[in-house]
Structure 1
Amino acid sequence: MVLTGTLVNGAAIVVAGGLGLLVQNIPEKMKTTVLQAIALAVILLGIQMGLQTQQFLLVIASLAIGGVMGEWIGIDSYLNQFGRWIESVIKPAKSGESGKVAQAFVTTTLIYVVGAMAVLGSIDSGLRGDHSLLYTKAMLDGLSAIIFASTLGVGVLLSAIPVILYQGSIALMATYIAVIVPDYFLNQFILEMSAVGGIMVVAIGLNILGLTAIRVANLLPALPVLAGLMWLINSIF
């Protein structure tokens, strides 16, 4: 089944996140320390991803143009509105807790979808029926979901929805992608996409630490912009 890997990935986030909620009642100081440790690890991961680029100017241009598009569309606002709506359905907002579900949802959604594993794994699932990469991603996402849910709350579980929609769409379109996109271009794009995604991941880590308030979701159009710029450059040269 084409969507097996994607569904396993989504289920891993929900199940592992549920386990994380069971250990939510831990001392506040411990929560803070664990969350800071996660943020530092996320920043390191983002730096490693970002250093893979071979065309840094292309990465900058993609982020700049994508940021303009994202701000114009208001992606971050829509994601937060969805998270707050879910929060109002799940439970009435308590004093000092309003927006926590939305924050957890947006943060973990971005972490789970911007990496190269999501794209590569989905293409392998759709094209060859090989779900091994998404199974590996499911394990990694599940482990992080336990920790995120224990510190950020139930919003982490909701990130399974965009993960399934995003990866499932790529898996279903994989055959079409393989026909129209040459292997060399796809490999080059995934490399630069990892770099663009890595910069977003660094921003997410800084946000978790509370050092910045970067609207990372508004940078997501940088990924299709990157593909367009690369196609344009390859067509010209």
Structure 2
Amino acid sequence: MTIIGPYINGTAIVLGALIGAGLGKRVPEPLRHNLTLIFGLCSMGMGVVMTAKVASMPAMVLSVLIGSILGELILLEQGINKLASSTKGIVERLLPFKPNAHLSHEEFLAKFVAVMILFSFSGTGIFGAMNEGMSGDESILIVKSFLDFFTAMIFAATLGVSVAAIFVPQTLLQLILAYSAVMLIPLITPEMRADFAAVGGMLMIATGFRICGVTMFRVANILPALFLAMPISALWRMFF
């Protein structure tokens, strides 16, 4: 199977960052704000479509509940934040800070790490990569590429072309997930795949709410639900 979604997504980040760095402060603040809300709306819309494909509602709900409890207990989101923060030294060596009238050195690094988490560890990206590996459908990552192109452009207007470097960890993570998921194809049924897609849809809805500032779902703590969705789906059909 040929995996193309991660490469498309990485290219979109690089192009968006280059254009955003070139535009700089010429990107109006109202446009930045409204585009962010539109990103959240698109994420929720995709989530609703994916959730509607559910084959077993109880399996979907159980996966989200148990996965979220597990994520909260192991403090997954906090761990991801710490892992990303520990890369500040590497970022500082690879991307020397250029003086900015609006950002201090520490603010630059903090924002860069936050953007790296946003791109690399989003529920949409992780679900999209796994979904392409199992189904060959790259549409989720292509839609994410549209969103990431404009997001990278907006952040690069402030942080500069350094935002383009984020394509490296994101592409590597998505490729690992996609090719790992390829190996699951012989083991899964259409119903398991549908329930997996529905759980991914729930993550995308939660992501949309967070982007829009409606409520700050700890989306990373829900990620274990993706890995539980198919086993729970199979067990539900076996016993019920």
1:50 shift after superposition: 1.7
Q: What is aligned with 1:130?
A: none
Structure 1 residue 81: Cα displacement: 2.1
Computed over aligned residues only, the root mean square deviation of the Cα atoms, in angstroms, reads 2.9
CA distance in 1, matches of 2:176, 2:2: 6
After TM superposition, give the deviation of residue 234 of structure 1 in Å.
Answer: 3.4
Residue matched to 2:184: 177
Alpha-carbon displacement from aligned partner over 1:141-200 (angstroms, at most 9, x marks no partner):
4322221112345668536524433433442563x4244x15xx1x22221122111111
- TM-superposition CA deviations, 1:5-58 (whole Å, max 9, x none): 366245324423423532452122221111112212222221222222132222
Describe the shift of the 1:51–1:102 C-alpha distance in structure 2 as closer, same or farther (beyond 3 A). farther
* Distance verdict in 2 for CA 1:107–1:204, change over 3 Å: farther
Larger mean CA deviation between 163-172 and 68-77 belongs to 163-172
Asked if 1:77 is matched to 2:88, the reply is: no
Counterpart CA distance in 1 for 2:181 and 2:48 is 30
Q: What stretches of structure 1 of length at least 5 have no aligned partner?
A: 126-132
Aligned residues: 219
Q: Which amino acid aligns with 1:114?
A: F
Structure 2 equivalent of residue 129 of structure 1: none
Over 3 Å counting, the alpha-carbon distance change for 1:47 and 1:101 in structure 2 is farther
Relative to the length of structure 2, the TM-score reads 0.75
Identity percentage of aligned residues: 18
Q: Indicate if the aligned counterparts of 2:51 and 2:197 stay in contact, CA closer than 8 A.
A: yes
CA distance in 2, matches of 1:156, 1:38: 19
Unaligned runs of 5+ residues in structure 2 are 98-104, 157-161
CA deviation string 1:122-141 (max 9, x = no partner): 2467xxxxxxx44x666444
Equivalents in 2 of 1:108, 1:34: separation in Å?
16
For residues 208 and 173 of structure 1, what CA distance do their matches in structure 2 show? 27
Any runs of at least 4 consecutive aligned residues in structure 1 with deviations exceeding 6 A, and if so which? none
Matched, 1:198 2:201: yes
For the Cα contact (< 8 Å) 1:71–1:218, is it kept in 2?
Answer: yes
Q: Report the equivalent of 1:18.
A: 17
Aligned to 1:39: 40
Matches of 2:165 and 2:201 in 1, distance apart?
A: 23
Q: 1: CA distance between counterparts of 2:164 and 2:199?
A: 23
Q: 1:104 aligns with which of 77, 97, 115?
A: 115
Shift of 1:101: 3.0
Seen in structure 2, the aligned counterparts of structure 1 residues 155 and 200 have a Cα distance that, compared at 3 Å, is: farther
Equivalent residues of 1:83, 1:101 under 8 A apart: no
SS of the counterpart of 1:52? coil
